[in-house]
Amino acid sequence: MNLAIKDIRANLGRFTLTTLGIGMLLMIVMGMAGIYRGLVEDATLLVERIGADLWVVQKDTRGPFAEVSRVPRNLVHRVTTVPGVATAREFVFHTIQRQHLGKPLRISLLGLSWPQDKGEWLPLIAGRPIGQSRFELVADKSLGLTLGEELKLGKDTYTVVGITTGMLSTGGDGMAFTTVWDAQVIQFDAPSEAIRLERAARDQRGQTSEVFLREPALSERMGLPATELAAVPVPALSAVVVRLLPHADSRQVEELIASWGDTSVFTREGQNDLLLQGMVDKARRQLGMFRALLTLIAAIIMALIIYTLTLDKLYSIALLKLIGAPNRVILGLILQQALLLGGLGYLLAYTLGLRLFPYFPRRVVLANEDLIQLAIVVVVISVVSSLLGIVKALRVQPNSVLMG
């Protein structure tokens, strides 16, 4: 006869509620570890999925994710001529927030270098990649957009032609993908009144310039849109992503491009380090601290619960000692209950977590490494927390039963 199981049956209601409380607490500990993992995965997701060997950004910046980077469009052609470079593509990335169906919609928008990059590498669960140069959009399912839905961004309307999954930015915002041209049109969109005022200001400046007074035709040209003025450059890119030939010397290519006066170069590993040690570093450390504190709190609570359960059984323990039960029977009673409490609480935490974590605002990634680590911690906590109860039980005198 197992005394631990018999005692649990006699106090089933209390044991069930205790297990539920510990399970909920362990679920929060598990969730903290999952949010930590999700934060790291979201931060490095885009860098890993794009698969670029080198990132060419604006000189002395840590772009395009850690800070704003602006490089000229012709940098793509310059990079392509470097020995060892297989491909160089345009990269445009920015975050926008719009109203959609009466609700705020926050989107991290990535421009694809169409037609070289149509988005075939995206994890599509519905629809297709981008098939034309304008007005098509692939959206992550977290944005709540449906296939075929039309979304107005700026002065244009875009049709959702594909749905992806798991494509989130560092901030946890769902990502959408258009061509580079569309991404820049959305990024630099300005109200009609702002465009009219800018044209009027150019015209006024022209009326006071001697050059424009001598050449009236130039003043007329000033009224054209900025994109049609020869002296106005096209919108800049956020970065240029580079893939190298299989046998190319990465260090040599990096040093050559970095020697130009307007660029900085980062490897894939360097870009990941910038994201993890810069943008999400404080959040990672804060989540780690919360996880450690919750684990400590769980240990304290379990110790108190086991101690309280032992106090309730002091009379029974004294009776066992009086009839000659060895200490190992009493130790087994307390230790087995502690392990059952921890094991069932862990199982409950995992089961509830699988059902609840998908509804969390941030992605929760349950890695096997973290689950095994937490399981070991729960076993250690169960054993350590039972020590208080064991010490108390061993101090009980058998004759205390006779004293009432």
Tens-digit pLDDT profile for residues 267-294: 988 888 888 877 677 877 888 888 888 8
Long-range contacts of 327-336 (CB under 8 A, 24+ apart): 327/394, 329/3, 330/390, 330/393, 330/394, 331/390, 331/393, 332/3, 332/4, 333/3, 333/4, 333/7, 334/306, 334/310, 334/386, 334/389, 334/390, 334/393, 335/383, 335/386, 335/390, 336/2, 336/4
The token pair that represents 225 in the structure block: 């849109």
Predicted confidence at residue 243, as pLDDT, reads: 93
**pLDDT exceeds cutoff 90 at 234:** no
DSSP 8-state class, residue 238? S
Mean pLDDT score, 50-79: 88
Predicted confidence at residue 285, as pLDDT, reads: 83
Mean pLDDT score, 325-353: 84
Of 44-58, 329-343, 386-400, highest mean pLDDT = 44-58
Biggest CA pair distance of the chain: 119
Q: Output 61 or 171, whichever has higher pLDDT.
A: 61
> What CA–CA distance (Å, rounded) separates 113 from 338?
59
Mean pLDDT score, 250-257: 92
Predicted confidence at residue 32, as pLDDT, reads: 86
Predicted confidence at residue 221, as pLDDT, reads: 61
In this prediction, residue 8 has a pLDDT band, given cuts at 50, 70 and 90, of: confident
> What CA–CA distance (Å, rounded) separates 56 from 37?
28
In this prediction, residue 68 has a pLDDT band, given cuts at 50, 70 and 90, of: confident
Judge whether 54 and 270 are in contact, CB under 8 Å. Answer: no
Judge whether 284 and 80 are in contact, CB under 8 Å. Answer: no
DSSP 8-state class, residue 59? T
Lowest-confidence segment of 97-101, 202-206, 225-229 by average pLDDT: 225-229
> What CA–CA distance (Å, rounded) separates 267 from 254?
8
**pLDDT exceeds cutoff 70 at 338:** yes
Q: Please state, rounded to an integer, the average pLDDT across all residues of the chain.
A: 82
Is the four-CA dihedral 61, 66, 72, 77 of positive or negative sign?
A: positive
Of 271, 220, 208, give the one whose Cα is nearest residue 241. Answer: 271
DSSP 8-state class, residue 173? P
**pLDDT exceeds cutoff 80 at 163:** yes
Predicted confidence at residue 342, as pLDDT, reads: 87
**pLDDT exceeds cutoff 70 at 229:** no
Of 258, 247, 246, give the one whose Cα is nearest residue 75. Answer: 258
Predicted confidence at residue 257, as pLDDT, reads: 93
Q: Output 321 or 218, whichever has higher pLDDT.
A: 321
Predicted confidence at residue 1, as pLDDT, reads: 45
Predicted confidence at residue 296, as pLDDT, reads: 83
3-state SS assignment for residue 168? strand
Mean pLDDT score, 225-233: 55
In this prediction, residue 393 has a pLDDT band, given cuts at 50, 70 and 90, of: confident
Site of tokens 């098509």: 136
Q: Which residue type occupies 55?
A: W
> What CA–CA distance (Å, rounded) separates 257 from 242?
11
Predicted confidence at residue 216, as pLDDT, reads: 61
Percent of the chain predicted with pLDDT > 70: 85
Mean pLDDT score, 222-232: 56
Mean pLDDT score, 170-184: 89
Q: Output 327 or 241, whichever has higher pLDDT.
A: 241
**pLDDT exceeds cutoff 90 at 326:** no
Predicted confidence at residue 29, as pLDDT, reads: 87
pLDDT digits (tens, 9 = 90+) for 31-51: 888 888 888 888 888 888 888
**pLDDT exceeds cutoff 80 at 302:** no
DSSP 8-state class, residue 126? E
Predicted confidence at residue 288, as pLDDT, reads: 81
In this prediction, residue 233 has a pLDDT band, given cuts at 50, 70 and 90, of: low
Mean pLDDT score, 168-183: 88
What does residue 107 show for φ and ψ, rounded to 5 degrees? -130, 135
**pLDDT exceeds cutoff 90 at 245:** yes
Q: Output 150 or 221, whichever has higher pLDDT.
A: 150
Judge whether 43 and 276 are in contact, CB under 8 Å. Answer: yes
**pLDDT exceeds cutoff 70 at 4:** no
pLDDT digits (tens, 9 = 90+) for 105-149: 999 999 998 888 888 989 999 999 999 989 999 999 999 999 999
Percent helix, strand, coil in the chain, to 5, is: 55, 20, 30
**pLDDT exceeds cutoff 60 at 226:** no
